[in-house]
């Protein structure tokens, strides 16, 4: 059974899923850039869990690896998870101690939806 996404996160994912599709390559570039920015901020003493950020980037990269075999609605979900991760204004500030919890929840939720389990 698929665990539901918290209503506040679901609303943001739904909004992001309405955006025009970008290419998988463009999304990969944005993810890699976001992870690099987080790593740089951590190097400068900001509180950021670079390991979790990298893990989310890898999970999203795995979803993007499946891009060509996905339907457009599935691509919109994957893109929404990617945009949720890279864009400011998500539910939690990424540089807070648990700031990537929401990003990870969204990425895992999309992965579960795509796996059909």
Judging by beta carbons within 10 Å of its beta carbon (0-12, 13-18, 19+), is residue 68 exposed, middle or buried? exposed
List CB contacts of 61: < 8 A, sequence separation 6 or more. Answer: 28, 31
pLDDT score, position 60: 98
Q: Report the domain count for the chain.
A: 1
- Helix 50-65 to helix 24-43 angle, to the nearest 10 degrees? 170
Confirm whether 26 is domain-assigned: no
| Residue 90 confidence (pLDDT) | 54
| 10 belongs to a structural domain | no
Domain membership of residue 79 (yes or no) is: yes
CA quadruple 87, 103, 82, 36: dihedral positive or negative?
Answer: positive
Domain that holds residue 108: 47-117
Give residue 51's Cα distance to chain centre: 14
Query: Closest by alpha carbon to 110, among 50, 47, 67?
Result: 67
**Predicted local distance difference test score (pLDDT) of residue 1:** 46
- What pLDDT, on the 0 to 100 scale, is given for residue 40? 92
Encoded tokens for 110: 């999309």
- Residue 60 lies inside a defined structural domain of this protein: yes
**Does 19 reside within a domain?**
no
Q: Would 103 be classed as within a structural domain? A: yes
- Note the pLDDT tens digit of each residue in 32-56: 999 999 999 888 888 788 999 999 9
Would you say residue 65 lies in a domain?
yes
Question: pLDDT of 60-112, one tens digit each?
Answer: 999 999 999 999 999 999 999 999 999 866 545 666 666 788 999 999 999 99
Contacts of 62 (CB under 8 A, 6+ apart): 111
Q: What is the pLDDT of residue 2?
A: 60
């Amino acid at each position: 059974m698929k665990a539901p996404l918290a209503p506040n996160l679901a609303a943001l994912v739904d909004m992001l899923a309405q955006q025009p599709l970008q290419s998988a390559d463009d999304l990969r570039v944005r993810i890699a850039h976001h992870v690099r920015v987080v790593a740089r901020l951590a190097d400068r003493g900001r509180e950021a869990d670079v390991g979790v950020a990298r893990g989310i980037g890898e999970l999203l990269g795995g979803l993007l690896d499946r891009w060509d075999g996905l339907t457009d609605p599935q691509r919109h979900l994957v893109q929404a998870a990617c945009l949720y991760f890279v864009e400011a204004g998500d539910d939690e500030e990424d540089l807070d101690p648990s700031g990537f919890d929401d990003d990870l929840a969204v990425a895992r939720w999309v992965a579960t939806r795509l796996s059909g389990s």
